[in-house]
A and B are shown apart, each in its own frame.
Chain A
C-alpha cells in the first residue's frame, strides 16, 4: 500500500461564458458550486488515504475558496493541500500549465472539474497519469455525471494503489483537425459549420451544421455527439469513431438535443464508421470548424482540411469500474456485522 500518494486537481474558473445559457437555458455551475464539489472530492480523497493534493491556481476564486475551507477545523483530516506556482494568464494556458506542473510533480492521478472544453485542453498534457473528470460545464458529453465524493474515492483508491490501474482505465480517443499549419484536437466531436463567425464559440444553430466527426456516440448524450448516439451508437472503448453528413433538405430525419434544452430536427445524408489512424478530408471547402462544440477555426478553399481519429487521448479513470473493482474483495470480516 503506497503512502504519500498525491492527486492533482484542476478546476477551470472560466467554464461559464457559454451563450447556450441564453439560447438554450443551459445550466450554470457557479464558482461556489465548483468549490463545494472540490470540498466533497477532498472528503473522498481523504477517506482513501491520499496524503497530498496539488491544485491548480486561478484568479477566479476557486483556489482561494478551496484554501479557505481547507483552513477550517472541519477540514483538518483532508490531505495536505498545495497550489501550483503558476503565472495566471486568464487564458486556457492556465489549465494546460497546471497539468504540466502536475506531470512534473509526479502526481498519481488527476481530477478535472470542467466540461468538454476543459477536458479537451488536457489532451497531451497529462501523459500516462490517469484522469478522472467531474462535469461542471454547460454542455458535457465527455465527463460523466459522477458525484465528486465518489470520484474522490475512485481517484484515491487508484492513487494509493488499492485498485489495479489496468482494470479501470483506458485511453480516450481523440480527433485531430489539420488545416494548413494549424492542428486542433478534440475529445468528443469536430463539426464543420457554414459561415465565418467564431464569436461566442458555441455551436447552437442547427441549420449551420454540415458534417460531424465523433470519437464516440452515446444514445443518452447531449450535444453534437447525440446525433451519432441516435443513429449508430459507438462506445468510448470501440476502436472506431463516426462520421455524419447533414443536409437540412434530406428526408432522413433525426430529432436530438444539440445542446441542453435545445432540441433540433436534422436531415442526415450519410453515417459511416471512422477508422482509427486514417486521415480523411472534410467535405466542405469553406466555413468554420468547431472542436468539442466550440467554434474555433475559419477555413477557406485555399486550405485543405483533414480529420484523423487516434487512440492517444488522456488515460481515463472509469469511476464506476474503479468502484466496482474496489468492492469485489469484501473488506467486512466475518462476525463483525454490526447490523445483526
Chain B
C-alpha cells in the first residue's frame, strides 16, 4: 500500500468540492428560463458528487498510470481524483471542441483514454466494461487493476450481479466500489434493496466485501489499498461499499422534497470533519486550509475560463466520429 499522504488527500477533496460547487453555480447562473434544463452555457442533466469525495480520493490514492476506472453518471470526483485533465473535462461539460470528447459526450459520457477513464450514464453498465479492461490487463500480464464504480441503487441491476460473477469466476483484477449515498434518486435503499449491505452480496460470489460505514477518507484509503493490493497480486476481485453522503440533489434542480434528513446533511460534510481531524493531528494549519482553498479556487476558475473561451463545435461536426 502506498504511503498515506494526508495533505494530498485533503487537497484533492477540497479541489473536487470546489469544482462541484462552482459547476453548480455556473450551471444555474444563466438558466433562463430557470426551469429550462436545456438552457444556459451548461445544458442538460447535471449530477454532482459533493459529499462523496472521500470515496474517490481514498480509492484513487492507490491507483497508478494505466489503471482503469469506469464511473457512473455522477463521475466528476472520480475523474478528477484519477488525473483527468480539469480543463478538458470542463470544456467537455461546456460542450466545446477542446473538451475531452470534442463536445460529443457531455458530463455523463467522459472518456479519457490516456488515463483509462470512462463513465456511462446507464447505471451498472460500466461494470462489465471494467471486467473487460481487467481481463485485458490480466492477459497482458500487467499488474494493473480496473475500478468499477457504481451507486447502491445500481447494485440491483443484473449487470452488477453478472459482473461480480464474471470477475470472481475469472479471478479478474477488479475492485467494485459502491457509493451508498442512501438514495437512488428519491428511493431509499431500504425500500429497494434486499439486504442492507452490498458487502454481503459479495460473499455470495466468494469475493471479500467490506462496508466502510463512515464517510472517512482514511477508512476508504485503507480498505481500498488492501483490495487493490490484493487485485495487483493476482488474488482477484473485491467489493467495497462506502456509506457516503449526497450533499446536493440527484441532479441540479432536484428540490429533494422526499428527503427527511436534508437539514442534517451539512453537519455530515466529510471535508470540514477531515480538516478538523488533521488540525488535531497537527498536520494542517489554518494558513494551509486557506492556501489549499485558494489554489483550488484558482484552478477551477481557470478551467471554467478555459472552457468558456473555447470554441463551440460546428453543427456539421455531428456527423464525424461515427466510425474510426
Report A-B touching, CB under 8 Å.
yes
Q: A residues bordering B, Cβ < 8 Å? A: 13-14, 16-19, 21-23, 25-26, 28, 30-32, 59-62, 64, 90, 196-201, 298
The answer to whether B190 and A61 touch across the interface, beta carbons within 8 angstroms, is yes
Does B161 reach chain A (CB closer than 8 Å)?
no
Shortest CB-to-CB span from A147 to chain B, Å, is 21
| B residues 243-290 in Cβ contact with A at 8 Å | 243, 281
Q: A200 with B199: in contact, given A17-B210, A21-B208 (CB under 8 Å)? A: no
Interface size on B, residues (CB 8 A): 28
Shortest CB-to-CB span from B318 to chain A, Å, is 46
Distance between Cα atoms of A13 and B196 in the complex (Å): 8
Shortest CB-to-CB span from B115 to chain A, Å, is 25
Distance between Cα atoms of A243 and B195 in the complex (Å): 41
Shortest CB-to-CB span from B179 to chain A, Å, is 15
**A196 proximity list for chain B (CB < 8 A):** 281
**B226 proximity list for chain A (CB < 8 A):** 19, 22-23
Stretch from B74-82, B103-111, B124-132, B217-225 forming part of the interface with A: B217-225
B4, B196, B238: the one within 8 Å of A60 (CB): B196
Shortest Cβ distance from A298 into B: residue: B281
Q: Supply 23 A–B pairs (Cβ within 8 Å), ascending by A.
A: A13-B197, A16-B197, A16-B200, A16-B211, A17-B199, A19-B223, A19-B226, A21-B210, A26-B208, A28-B202, A30-B200, A31-B195, A31-B196, A60-B190, A60-B196, A61-B190, A61-B194, A61-B195, A62-B196, A197-B4, A199-B218, A199-B219, A200-B219
Of listed A13, A22, A28, A62, residue having the most chain B CB within 10 A: A22
Distance between Cα atoms of A199 and B218 in the complex (Å): 5
The answer to whether B210 and A19 touch across the interface, beta carbons within 8 angstroms, is yes
Which 10 pairs of residues, A with B, have the shortest CB-CB distance? Answer: A30-B200, A60-B196, A61-B196, A28-B203, A199-B222, A200-B222, A199-B218, A22-B226, A21-B208, A22-B208
Shortest Cβ distance from A59 into B: residue: B190
**B153 proximity list for chain A (CB < 8 A):** none
Distance between Cα atoms of A19 and B230 in the complex (Å): 12
**A201 proximity list for chain B (CB < 8 A):** 219
Distance between Cα atoms of A196 and B227 in the complex (Å): 21
Shortest Cβ distance from A21 into B: residue: B208
**B72 proximity list for chain A (CB < 8 A):** none
Shortest CB-to-CB span from B150 to chain A, Å, is 19
Distance between Cα atoms of A132 and B65 in the complex (Å): 52
The answer to whether B200 and A14 touch across the interface, beta carbons within 8 angstroms, is no
Shortest CB-to-CB span from A229 to chain B, Å, is 26
**B238 proximity list for chain A (CB < 8 A):** 22
**A197 proximity list for chain B (CB < 8 A):** 4, 218, 222
Shortest CB-to-CB span from B279 to chain A, Å, is 13
Of listed A17, A26, A32, A64, residue having the most chain B CB within 10 A: A17
The answer to whether A30 and B203 touch across the interface, beta carbons within 8 angstroms, is yes
Shortest Cβ distance from A32 into B: residue: B195
Q: A31 with B212: in contact, given A22-B230, A61-B195 (CB under 8 Å)? A: no
Shortest CB-to-CB span from B55 to chain A, Å, is 14
Shortest CB-to-CB span from A159 to chain B, Å, is 29
Known: A19-B223, A23-B226, A197-B218. 7 other contacts (CB 8 A): A13-B197, A14-B211, A17-B213, A18-B210, A64-B190, A199-B218, A200-B218
Shortest Cβ distance from B230 into A: residue: A22
Distance between Cα atoms of A14 and B196 in the complex (Å): 9
The answer to whether B209 and A21 touch across the interface, beta carbons within 8 angstroms, is yes
Distance between Cα atoms of A261 and B68 in the complex (Å): 30
- Render B179-204 as a binary contact track against A, CB cut-off 8 A, 1 for contact: 00000000000100011110110110
**A13 proximity list for chain B (CB < 8 A):** 196-197
Distance between Cα atoms of A275 and B210 in the complex (Å): 38
The answer to whether A21 and B218 touch across the interface, beta carbons within 8 angstroms, is no
- Render B45-58 as a binary contact track against A, CB cut-off 8 A, 1 for contact: 00000000000000
**A17 proximity list for chain B (CB < 8 A):** 199, 210-213
Shortest CB-to-CB span from B147 to chain A, Å, is 15
Of listed B197, B199, B203, residue having the most chain A CB within 10 A: B197
The answer to whether A28 and B218 touch across the interface, beta carbons within 8 angstroms, is no
Shortest Cβ distance from B200 into A: residue: A30
**A25 proximity list for chain B (CB < 8 A):** 208
Shortest CB-to-CB span from A298 to chain B, Å, is 7
**B197 proximity list for chain A (CB < 8 A):** 13, 16, 30-31, 60
Shortest Cβ distance from A33 into B: residue: B200
Shortest CB-to-CB span from A193 to chain B, Å, is 14
**B195 proximity list for chain A (CB < 8 A):** 30-32, 61
Distance between Cα atoms of A207 and B213 in the complex (Å): 26
Distance between Cα atoms of A198 and B219 in the complex (Å): 8
The answer to whether B200 and A32 touch across the interface, beta carbons within 8 angstroms, is yes
**A59 proximity list for chain B (CB < 8 A):** 190, 196
- Render B231-248 as a binary contact track against A, CB cut-off 8 A, 1 for contact: 000000010000100000
Distance between Cα atoms of A17 and B203 in the complex (Å): 13
Distance between Cα atoms of A26 and B196 in the complex (Å): 19
**B219 proximity list for chain A (CB < 8 A):** 199-201
The answer to whether B213 and A28 touch across the interface, beta carbons within 8 angstroms, is no
**A61 proximity list for chain B (CB < 8 A):** 190, 194-196
Distance between Cα atoms of A241 and B202 in the complex (Å): 39
Shortest CB-to-CB span from B183 to chain A, Å, is 13
A23, A28, A32, A198: the one within 8 Å of B199 (CB): A28
**A30 proximity list for chain B (CB < 8 A):** 195, 197, 200, 203
